Amino acid sequence: MNGAKDIVLKQPIVVCPLDHAACKAEMEAIEQAARDAAHVNADNPRLPLARIIRSSDPNALSCLGVAIVGTAKRPLID
């Protein structure tokens, strides 16, 4: 094994205590968790990320959860 540093391997190696299929499944779960965590507010995890809603946006009130009923603004119920 003294000359092991000279060995060149052209095949990718997966270093994981699980078999290849289980390791791949775990990596997919970790990637999905990272995508889901991108939508979490770091200051308060229970709140969604802040968004900017412009007053000129035609759907601004619905983004805020408000609908105009007659002349009054009421909570929007889905």
Higher pLDDT, 24 or 77: 24
**Bridge partners (DSSP) listed for residue 72:** 69
In-domain check, residue 1: no
Mean pLDDT of the chain: 78
Exposed, middle or buried, 23 (CB in 10 Å: 0-12/13-18/19+)?
middle
Domain-embedded: residue 14: yes
Amino acid symbol at 35: R
76 has a pLDDT exceeding 70: yes
Task: Look at 62 and 30; give whichever has higher pLDDT.
Answer: 30
Tell me whether residue 45 is in a domain.
yes
Q: How many helices (H) and strands (E) does the chain have?
A: 2, 2
How many domains, in total, are found in the chain? Answer: 1
Helix (H, G, I), strand (E, B) or coil at 5: helix
Q: Which domain holds residue 46?
A: 9-75
Count the Cβ atoms, other than its own, within 10 Å of residue 59.
8
In a domain, 39, yes or no: yes
Q: What is the pLDDT of residues 14-41, one digit of tens each?
A: 677 777 788 888 889 999 988 888 777 7
State what percent of residues in the chain have pLDDT above 70.
Answer: 86
